[in-house]
Amino acid sequence: MAAIDSLLRVMSVRGAEAMIISTGQVPTLRRGGQAEPLAMPPIDPVMVLAFVDELVPPPGRDALDARGSAEVNHAVGADRYTIAIERTTSGFRLLIRASRATVAVVPPPPTPTPVSSTNAPTAPNVPRTRTAPTPRAVEPSPPSASLASAAVLLSTIDHAAERQASDVLLSAGMAPRARIDGELVELELASPSDGELLALVAHLGGAHAAAALERDGAVDFGATVGAARVRGHGFAHERGLGVAIRVLRTDVPTLGSLGLPDDLGTLVAQRSGLVLVAGPTGSGKSTTLVALIALLNRTRARHVITLEDPIEFLHPPGRCLIHQREVGRHAASFAAGLRAALREAPDVIVVGELRDPETISIALTAAETGHLVLGTVHAPGAAGAIDRLIDGYPAHQQGQARAQLAAALRCVVTQYLLPTRSGGRTVAIERVPVTPAISTLIRSGELQMVATHVQTGRDAGMVPLERSLARLARTGLVDPAVARAAAVDHDYFDRAMRG
């Protein structure tokens, strides 16, 4: 495969009419009359020279050198291109246009079958003995090919971000996939190789990230691709290398833009206590915390310290003083960051995830000592979130943990993302403010009764998940069958659907 073929695939995938490649500049697509730079670094002279050498082999270089320009036809599969090459003061400029002309592809001559020297056709009835073929070693892609293919992967990520994808999954020997509206979609691109994935990690995370991936078998990194911020994880697997990319939004969201009720903003009006946002992986828990802090930043003067893994949104200056700290860069762990935060005079502490006993213990202590603590937990509902925190403690300390949680917990919001009828996803929530009755259930360990209190506690501000799902179904935003499948109590959902 020619090194330039990877860039030509980008042109085909993006539906561009032309592409310009110049030495020392970022390649640019022409699409719909608009110029679109690719999400990759400028092309260095060595790579451009490799392109020219493949397009114009040495026999034709004399004419190129003499005239200063040449035009060639090039094919990549069924796609045909006309490439005008021009020598410039800095190197070369390639103008590539999609060609409608049919290019005849001449198949290579068949490889002759080797025969032993003793099998000359002197005796027609003597069968010939074929020699066993010599295994051919698979050679790694040249650096120029790997870097150019990394450009394809960068463009793939940028394209997926434009389509509002949440994740891009790249694996050696397999077609790239993107998660769009919660569904995994196969992209019409060639399978990347190990060398191409390694080049991608080196570009996004630096040479040290690529070295760590080769040495340790896994590495985390973050970067900006086009207009999108991404966090990535490279890892080794049975077939080679893989890279998982999470596409992060760059605009700080509001509760309204996320489809969350405005009255959820009352959660950050409290002066102290613990507020939990629960839900399965990928349900937008961290994004909800970002929207709550953005609201606080617009409405109140507070000192906010966040502990994130990684930092996804950068909060602009506002009424709040916000210090954002990333686990691994600014703090060794969530627990270490929380301990330090208690000495930094915060009003509000945001914990990306409450996942180990030490972090949970310090968060409860902070909530009891006059701080408002916001955190996320992987759980399917309020009872599950509370149970998960308590189960993090040894058995002999769980009684004390229940008492602390009953006193410090203010509210549990659980959220789920559901596909809408028109495409995209919307959110359904369960909201459980901790009333004296809920507090008593936590202290006594009778969490199985929480669901009943939620269904009957409308006057206390309780919002059952089933009622939220029924509202989405009745308005036509979500298919009723999809909403019912997400419900925990189907009988209660059916009653809520009837009004």
Looking at residue 347, which CATH number applies to its domain?
Answer: 3.40.50.300
DSSP 3-state assignment of 143? helix
Same-domain pairing of 428 and 304 = yes
The answer as to whether 200 is a domain residue is: yes
CB 167 within 8 A of CB 179: yes
The answer as to whether 338 is a domain residue is: yes
The answer as to whether 11 is a domain residue is: yes
Which residues 6+ apart lie within 8 Å of 444 measured at CB? 402
Closest CA to 429 of 476, 381, 485: 381
Q: What's the confidence (pLDDT) of residue 105?
A: 37
Q: What's the confidence (pLDDT) of residue 233?
A: 92
Q: What's the confidence (pLDDT) of residue 3?
A: 65
C-alpha to C-alpha distances, 244 to 43, 94, 177, 297, nearest whole angstrom: 25, 33, 10, 32
Which of 62, 78, 98 marks a domain boundary?
98
Same-domain pairing of 416 and 448 = yes
Same-domain pairing of 449 and 304 = yes
Which residues 6+ apart lie within 8 Å of 248 measured at CB? 228, 229, 230, 231, 312, 313
Which of 203, 224, 248 marks a domain boundary?
248
Same-domain pairing of 430 and 459 = yes
Q: Is the full-model pTM beyond 0.85?
A: no
DSSP E strand boundaries for 134-196: 165-171, 174-180, 183-186
Q: What's the confidence (pLDDT) of residue 56?
A: 84
Pairing of strands 303-308, 34-37: unpaired
DSSP 3-state assignment of 220? strand
- What is the rounded CA–CA span in Å between residue 285 and residue 94? 47
Which residues 6+ apart lie within 8 Å of 231 measured at CB? 220, 221, 222, 245, 246, 248, 310, 312
Which of 80, 98, 116 marks a domain boundary?
98
Same-domain pairing of 290 and 414 = yes
Which contiguous run of DSSP H or E holds residue 160? helix 143-162
CA angle in degrees (0–180, nearest 5) for 90-92-98: 145
DSSP 3-state assignment of 438? helix
C-alpha to C-alpha distances, 462 to 1, 64, 411, 451, nearest whole angstrom: 61, 76, 10, 10
CB 164 within 8 A of CB 179: no
The answer as to whether 421 is a domain residue is: yes
Q: What is the CATH number of the domain that holds 179?
A: 3.30.450.90
Same-domain pairing of 236 and 277 = no
Same-domain pairing of 189 and 299 = no
Q: Walk across the sheet containing 92-98 and list its strands.
A: 34-37, 28-31, 18-22, 92-98, 79-87, 69-76
Structural domain count of the chain: 3
Per-residue pLDDT of the chain (499 residues; tens, 9 = 90+): 556 777 787 787 777 888 889 988 888 888 777 777 876 667 778 778 878 888 887 666 777 777 788 888 888 877 888 898 888 888 888 989 887 543 333 344 444 444 443 444 444 444 444 343 333 333 344 444 455 556 667 777 877 877 888 899 999 989 889 998 888 988 877 788 888 898 889 888 888 888 889 999 999 887 777 667 788 899 999 889 999 998 876 678 899 999 999 999 999 999 999 999 999 988 989 999 999 999 999 999 999 999 988 787 889 899 999 999 988 789 989 999 999 999 999 999 999 899 888 999 999 999 999 999 999 999 999 999 999 999 988 999 999 999 999 999 999 999 999 999 988 899 999 999 999 999 999 999 999 999 999 999 988 999 999 999 999 999 999 999 999 999 999 999 999 999 7
CB 65 within 8 A of CB 81: no
- What is the rounded CA–CA span in Å between residue 40 and residue 152? 9
Same-domain pairing of 149 and 73 = no
The answer as to whether 255 is a domain residue is: no
SS (H, E, C) 345-388: CCCEEEECCCCCHHHHHHHHHHHHCCCEEEEEEEECCHHHHHHH
Calculate the dihedral angle through the C-alpha atoms of 283, 287, 291, 293, rounding to the nearest 10 degrees: 120
Q: What's the confidence (pLDDT) of residue 17?
A: 85
Q: What's the confidence (pLDDT) of residue 400?
A: 92
Domain of residue 302 covers: 262-463
Which residues 6+ apart lie within 8 Å of 249 measured at CB? 229, 287, 312, 313
Neighbours of 24 (CB within 10 A): 12
Same-domain pairing of 290 and 409 = yes
Closest CA to 239 of 308, 191, 287, 307: 191
Which residues 6+ apart lie within 8 Å of 113 measured at CB? 130
